[in-house]
Amino acid sequence: MSKTEEFSRPGEDVSPVAEVKSAVAGFMNDFKGFRADITQRLQQQEEKLTMYERKSLAPQRPQLSAANEAEAPHQKAFNAYLRSGDDDGLRGLELEGKSLNTAVAGEGGYLVDPQTSETIKSTLSSTASVRAIANVVGVEATSYDVLVDHTDVGHGWATEADPTAETGTPVIDRITIPLHELSALPKASQRLLDDSAFDIEGWLAGRIADKFARAEAAAFVGGDGVDKPKGFLTHTSVDNDVWTWGNLGYVPTGVDGDIGGPDPIIDLVYALGAEYRANATFVMNSKTAGVVRKLKDADGRFLWSDGLAAGEPARLMGYPVLIAEDMPDVATDATPIAFGDFGAGYTVAERPDLRVLRDPFSAKPHVLFYATKRVGGDVSDFAAIKLLKFGTS
């Protein structure tokens, strides 16, 4: 039997070309099936690997970060120092070069670990203090200078033929904000520190932040500038009609010790320059807020509106209200309400480092933790803040 007869069937084309086409078609079908099988197996393997990574590899990924690798030894060493006074780990970190200026015992303590430092900064930023709306800058020096240009940039109109006239020279004023040392002295018993379940770093961060927040809030409002920031209410205030640089302008209510109605609030808003109103905020304490929120306009609508969502500030005439308990109460000739762009009007300058010194001797059987940081504050733009004075003039 010939090859043609061997592979042929009755009624079929038995030419060599047809045989090749049939063989190629069969091979392609088999190859497609093989490829689909391989693709399916690869997908299954990838899914298994992905599940394995989620369970086993994902928790270990943060350790691949250089920042976290450096932070973990610092945090462990700092924890040991707080609990037992063992500072070998902190000194070792400095010798190994894993942390810049970790050991600063000669300067009054050791730098807190980055995680604790960020916790304290976050708490300070979220507290009801002028810091929350002020311009906050980090500096490495002992003071911070603010340059204020009192005039517009020189300009003028010119034609093609006429000579160009000289423009005026800008007047620059320098405001220097010195940094002062702010300290807190929380204490804990040694027995509590020996308890491994006690979160020493969380406890310390909370106590330090609470002390710092209270001290800062009071200083940013009424600090005298002696070994502490200078509060904006410490500066001389004058009637806004005769306001000059270096003073804060005020608007009188026209009634001794009383607001007298909604009109003074409206006058206060428009006493502030239009360039500042877009970012302006009211600042007052809770007692004053209780008085102001009762005010209504001529149509009987309240000037005050509460925040629509949790965490949103209340608003007065559409502007946010910061409740700062260190603002003065309503009284004759007092200035219990401030309104302005504090991002432009008040600057808080601080060093980024925060140090802790462990003292197990001064208050036995307790251990004291002397925490210090350097911070300063002062008015940086006297035109950006206006006050409401509860008086006739």
Segment 123-137 mean pLDDT: 84
pLDDT of residue 323: 93
* Residue 156 scores a pLDDT above 70: no
pLDDT of residue 28: 75
Segment 350-366 mean pLDDT: 84
Which one, of 354, 361, 363, lies nearest residue 187 by Cα?
A: 363
Length of the chain: 393
> What is the band of 65 on the pLDDT scale with cuts at 50, 70, 90?
very low
For 202, phi then psi, to 5°, come to -65, -40
> What is the band of 208 on the pLDDT scale with cuts at 50, 70, 90?
confident
More confident residue, 144 or 86: 144
* Residue 55 scores a pLDDT above 50: no
Q: How far from the centroid of its chain's Cα atoms is residue 119's Cα?
A: 11
Segment 273-287 mean pLDDT: 95
pLDDT of residue 286: 94
pLDDT, tens digit, 9 for 90 and up, residues 225-268 = 999 999 999 999 999 999 999 999 999 999 999 998 999 999 99
pLDDT of residue 388: 97
- On whether the CB atoms of residues 250 and 388 are closer than 8 A, the answer is yes
pTM above 0.85, yes or no: no
* Residue 76 scores a pLDDT above 50: yes
pLDDT of residue 168: 60
pLDDT of residue 186: 86
pLDDT of residue 98: 40
pLDDT, tens digit, 9 for 90 and up, residues 285-334 = 999 999 999 999 888 899 999 877 777 889 999 999 999 999 999 999 99
DSSP symbols for 98-166: SSTT-EEGGGTEEEPPHHHHHHHHHHHHHSSSGGGTSEEEE-SSSEEEEEEE-SPPP-----SSSPPPP
Segment 52-76 mean pLDDT: 48
- On whether the CB atoms of residues 112 and 356 are closer than 8 A, the answer is yes
- Beta strands (DSSP E) in the chain are 103-104, 109-111, 135-138, 143-149, 172-178, 180-184, 187-189, 237-239, 248-252, 281-284, 304-305, 315-316, 319-323, 337-340, 346-350, 355-359, 366-379, 385-389
At 269, the amino acid letter reads: V
> What is the band of 167 on the pLDDT scale with cuts at 50, 70, 90?
low
More confident residue, 237 or 369: 237
More confident residue, 277 or 352: 277
Structure tokens at 177: 């904000």
Q: Are strands 346-350 and 366-379 parallel, antiparallel or unpaired?
A: antiparallel
- On whether the CB atoms of residues 241 and 247 are closer than 8 A, the answer is no
Q: Please provide the average confidence, as pLDDT, over all residues in the chain.
A: 79
> What is the band of 166 on the pLDDT scale with cuts at 50, 70, 90?
low
- On whether the CB atoms of residues 326 and 372 are closer than 8 A, the answer is no
Lowest mean pLDDT among 1-10, 132-141, 148-157, 216-225: 1-10
> What is the band of 112 on the pLDDT scale with cuts at 50, 70, 90?
low
- On whether the CB atoms of residues 90 and 110 are closer than 8 A, the answer is yes
Cα 237–Cα 240–Cα 244 angle in degrees, nearest 5 = 70
More confident residue, 28 or 379: 379
More confident residue, 162 or 29: 29
Q: Percentage of the chain surpassing pLDDT 90?
A: 40
The matching CATH number, chosen from 3.90.1690, 1.10.3470, 2.30.30, 1.20.950, for 116-151+169-393 is 3.90.1690
- On whether the CB atoms of residues 316 and 346 are closer than 8 A, the answer is no
Q: What is the widest separation between alpha-carbon atoms in the chain? A: 128
Domain boundaries, the chain: 21-58, 67-111, 116-151+169-393
pLDDT of residue 121: 77
pLDDT of residue 91: 54
For 336, phi then psi, to 5°, come to -80, -5
Lowest mean pLDDT among 20-29, 48-57, 127-136, 351-360: 48-57
pLDDT of residue 341: 97
